[in-house]
Amino acid sequence: MAVEVNTLNFTIPKDFAWVLAGLVTLSAQLFIVNIAYVGRVRTRVFKNTDLQKVFGDDHKKHTNATINPLGYPDFGQGRYSDQLSYGDWYDFNIAQRIHYTFIEFFIPFIVISLVAGLYKPCYSAYIIFGAVFSRICFHIGYASGNAQHPIRVLGAALQDFCFLANLILSVMGLLSWLGYI
């Protein structure tokens, strides 16, 4: 009995390195936003709370440990955040949204960008670096404390455009490799 094997052969274009460079830049940006911004806001808002005094006994009973002074595992909507002033709570939640919208965008964007980059590496790389710029705009606008800030809105729209553009390129690449276009 003969076994038929279908293969898809392709060469990774030299310009694909720009796609990888863009994705590495975006990855570094995510890391920096998390450490330099979100971590800084978390430290600022929780440093003046006395979580140990309020929750220490219950926490010790359930975990046999002291409370993390930075408010972990609270991410803005939990019991520890109830101890924050409204301003600190708001700032902390803005920081969390900046971080989480980045993660929500980042994971699927990597996949479609890799596929798009194999098909049209230069176009995909331009789009990825556009996404890096979009995240800077989004962060600056949102960190202003106004979710409707024009720079945040611009960043969000540009991010969505970049996502859609690389999604279209990735679908075109797949259809091309399958022989449909």
The answer to whether 141 and 98 have CB atoms below 8 angstroms apart is no
- What CATH fold (topology level) applies to the domain 16-45+86-177? Four Helix Bundle (Hemerythrin (Met), subunit A) (1.20.120)
Question: Residue 140: CB partners within 8 Å, gap ≥ 6?
Answer: 151, 152, 155
Domain boundaries, the chain: 16-45+86-177, 50-83
**Tell me, what's the pLDDT at 53?**
87
CA–CA gap between residue 171 and residue 111 (Å, rounded): 12
> What pLDDT digit, counting tens, does each position of 52-87 carry?
888 988 988 999 998 888 899 988 889 999 999 999
What's the pLDDT score for residue 1? 64
Question: How confident is the chain (181 residues) per 10-residue block, as mean pLDDT?
Answer: 74 94 97 93 91 89 90 90 93 94 96 97 98 97 91 97 98 95 90
Residue type, 49: T
Which amino acid belongs to residue 140? I
